[in-house]
Structure 1
Amino acid sequence: MTAGTPHLGVGIGWRRDIDITVERLDVDFVECVAEDVNPRRIPESLRLLRERGLPVLPHAVSLSLAGAQPVDTDRVRHLARVATALDAPLVSDHVAFTRAGSWEAGHILPTPRTTDSLDVLVENVRRAQGLLPVPLALEHVAALVEWPGAEFSEAEFLSRLVDRTDCRLILDVANLYANAHNLGTDPREFLDAVPLDRIAYVHVGGGTWRDGVYHDTHAHPVLHEVLDLLAELHARTSPPGVLLERDDQFPSDDELAAELTAIRTAIAR
Structure 2
Amino acid sequence: MKGLTGVGLGWRRPLAHFIDGRSDLGFVEVLAEHLDAKGPLPEPLVRLRERGVPVVLHGVSLGLGGAEPPSPERLARLARLAERLGAVGVSEHLAFVRAGGVESGHLLPVSRDEASLEILAENVRLAEAALPVPLALENVASLFEWPAPAFDEAGLLAGVLERTGALVLLDVANLYANAHNLGTDTRAVLEAVPRERLAYVHVAGGVREGALYHDTHAHPLPEGPLDLLEALAARVGPVPVLLERDDRYPPPEELAGELEATRGALARGVARRVGAA
TM-score, L = length of structure 2? 0.93
SS at match of 1:177: helix
Once the two structures are TM-superposed, the CA of residue 186 in structure 1 deviates from its matched residue by: 2.0
**In the alignment, which residue of structure 2 is the partner of 1:116?**
115
- Quick one: distance in 2 between partners of 1:121 and 1:215? 25
Q: CA deviation at 1:239?
A: 5.0
Distance 2:37 2:133 in 1: 16
Counterpart in the other structure of 1:233: 232
Output the CA distance in 1 between the equivalents of 2:65 and 2:158.
15
User: Per-residue CA shift, 1:119-154, capped at 9, x if unaligned?
Assistant: 111111111111100110000100100011211111
- Asked if residue 218 in structure 1 is aligned to residue 217 in structure 2, the reply is yes
Is 2:36 the counterpart of 1:35? no
The letter of the residue matching 2:19 is V
Matches within 5 A, 1:19-168: 19-25=16-22, 26-40=24-38, 41-168=40-167
**CA distance 1:240–1:232, shift in 2 (3 Å):** closer
CA-based RMSD = 1.2
Q: Which segment drifts farther, 234-243 or 127-136?
A: 234-243
CA contact (8 A) 2:141 2:215 kept: yes
Q: Find the aligned partners of 1:242 and 1:124 in 2 and give their Cα distance.
A: 26
SS in 2 for 1:70: coil
**1:18 & 1:5 partners in 2: Cα distance?**
24
Query: d(CA) in 1 for partners of 2:249 and 2:239?
Result: 26
Q: 1:81 to 1:56 in 2, by over 3 A?
A: same
C-alpha distance in structure 2 between counterparts of 1:159 and 1:249, whole Å: 35
Q: Is the 8 A contact 1:201 1:239 kept in 2?
A: no
- What is the rounded CA distance, in whole Å, between the counterparts of 2:123 and 2:131 in structure 1? 12
> What SS is found at the alignment partner of 1:98?
strand
Give the superposition deviation at 1:190.
1.8
Mapped contact 1:80–1:132 kept (Cα < 8 A): yes
**Residue identity (%):** 54
The residue type equivalent to 1:104 in the other structure is: E
- For 1:33, the aligned partner's letter is L
Instruction: Give the AA of the match of 1:67.
Output: G
2:129 partner SS: helix
SS of aligned partner of 2:256: helix
- Rounded Cα–Cα distance in structure 2 between residues aligned with 1:209 and 1:92: 27
Q: Is the 8 A contact 1:206 1:223 kept in 2?
A: yes
CA distance in 2 between counterparts of 1:201 and 1:194 reads 11
The separation in 2 between residues aligned to 1:22 and 1:118, in whole angstroms, is: 38
How many residues are matched?
A: 266
Q: Do 2:16 and 2:44's aligned partners in 1 also have CA atoms closer than 8 Å?
A: yes
TM-score by length of 1: 0.96
Out of 14, 17, 33, which is 2:14 matched to?
17
2:26 partner letter: D
Q: Give SS of 1:222's match.
A: coil
Amino acid at match of 2:6: G
Please say if residues 140 and 171 of structure 1, whose CA atoms lie closer than 8 Å, have aligned partners that are also in contact. yes
Counterpart amino acid of residue 10 in structure 1: V
Contact 1:28 1:54 in 2 (8 A): yes
| Structure 1 consecutive aligned stretches of length 4 or more whose deviation exceeds 6 Å | none
Q: Which amino acid aligns with 1:27?
A: L
1:24 is displaced (CA, Å) by: 1.6
Distance 1:169 1:196, change over 3 A: same
Conserved 8 A contact 2:170-2:198: yes
In 2, are the aligned partners of 1:34 and 1:58 still within 8 Å (CA)? yes
